[in-house]
Structure 1
Amino acid sequence: MNACGLCERPSEHSYLCPGCARGLAESLDQLPVLHDELVECLVPRRYGFGDIVATRGAAGPRSPLDEDVLDEMNSGHMAAVVHLWRVDVQRVRWPSHGEPPPAGLAADCRWLAMELNWIAAEYVAAGDLAREVSDLERDARSIVGDPAPRPQRLGTCVAVDTGGVVCGAVIKRMPGQTRLRCRWCGYTYETAQDWMRLQHFQPEEVA
């Protein structure tokens, strides 16, 4: 009988109990959304890039960028932490495989979520992984607000590759977001024409 590496309750033969495993899955799903919202928060909504805001209690101007958000995103901290966990999980599960190349936060979160059953059952450091991912989510929510704004599902990506294949990945955006990049194919939606084309070419069941 093991104890859950996160809540320390008895956990049959797993390193994460079912509840903590579900919590880890939810956190992995939320991290890319929270990261996008942090990007939106970089410029405080009440100020523009051209404004200079006086720093409370200090002489001189301060940057129009939100310094708390800059600290949170320093050196891609969230993405770097998640990628290191992906590297370690792959190292333990497939020792003969080489280290995975950088793939971006969303891809690393998806990969870990797909391996979650193995992680909960076989990965000794599963509790530490769940704890650190939870800490990342908590720190991000402390800036963007809790609960975080829910993403709006707009449909599926209508970008077409050189072979004529439509991407088809789900496209979501945060409320008020005017520019987004498809996490699968990389196409950027930002102009009025982009949004009109996205809406026009949706399958009937999505539109």
Structure 2
Amino acid sequence: MTACELCGEDSSGRYLCERHTTALARRLDDLPTLYAEVGECLVPRRTGWGDIVATKSAAGPRSPLDEDVIDNINATRAAEVVHLWRVDVQRERWPRHGAPPPGGLAADCRWLGMELEWIASHYPAAGDLASEVHELEKQARTIVGDPAPRPQRLGTCVAISAEGVVCGAVISRLPGQTRVQCQWCQYVYETGLDWMRLQHFQPKEVA
């Protein structure tokens, strides 16, 4: 009998039981949104929230950000951690393949999520992976609160390629977010004109 590496319960020969496999899938799905919101929380806002005051007492001008938080809880660090897990899982599963290039937090979380059944059944470090992803989630929630805010769907991207093709990818943003980059074509929406164009050129619903 193989017990789940996290709870010790019978897992029918798998390294993770069904409950912890499902929890890991949810956390991998949530991490990109959580760390996008972490980035929003660590940027001083013009209105609404007060500045986050630095806790360091070194001489000189005080930073408007909590530098200790930035050092330890940020999307760059989360992306590095998750990417290292992707590299190791790929090395175990396909040892003849080269290491994947960094693809960003969302891409690596999505890749791990797609390989989750194999990870739970065949990857000896599945418990460590699940624990570290859980820790990344907890760290982010210390900044953004719990539950985490959900992205708001704004419509589909209206950017036009050089070939005259409309992108059409879904555009979403977190509450309070004023700059959004399309994940497909990389077009950036941040000015009032951008938001007006996005709204104006949305496909009209068929009655």
Q: In structure 2, which of residues 23, 46, 50 is the aligned counterpart of residue 46 of structure 1?
A: 50
Once the two structures are superposed, what CA deviation does each residue of 1:10-36 show, in whole Å capped at 9, x if it has no partner?
A: 100211111111111111111111111
TM-score, normalised to structure 2, is 0.86
Q: Give unpaired runs (5+ residues) of structure 1.
A: none
**Worse-superposed segment, 175-184 or 98-107:** 175-184
Deviations 1:98-120 (A, max 9, x none): 10001111111111111111111
Residues 79 and 205 (structure 1), Cα distance of their counterparts in 2 relative to 1, 3 Å cut: farther
**SS of residue paired to 2:155:** strand
RMSD, aligned CA: 2.5
One-letter identity of the residue aligned with 1:92: E
- Render the CA deviation track for 1:148-182: whole Å, top value 9, x for unaligned: 22211222323333344443333221111110112
Q: Match of 1:97?
A: 97
Q: Name 1:176's counterpart in structure 2.
A: 176
Confirm or deny: 8 A CA contact 1:160 1:166 kept in the other structure: yes
Structure 1 position 43, deviation (Å): 2.9
Counterparts of residues 9-24 of structure 1 (less than 5 Å):
9-24=9-24
Partner in structure 1 of residue 124 of structure 2: 124
Contact kept? 2:38, 2:75, Cα under 8 Å = no
Q: Give unmatched runs, 5+ long, in structure 2.
A: none
Query: Which position in structure 1 is the counterpart of 2:32?
Result: 32
Query: For each residue in 1:43-94, what CA deviation from the matched residue of structure 2 results, as whole angstroms up to 9, or x when unmatched?
Result: 343139xxxx686988765211133431234692111000000000111111
Q: Which letter maps to 2:51?
A: Y
User: AA paired with 1:142?
Assistant: T
**Alignment check: 8 A CA contact 1:34 1:140 kept:** yes
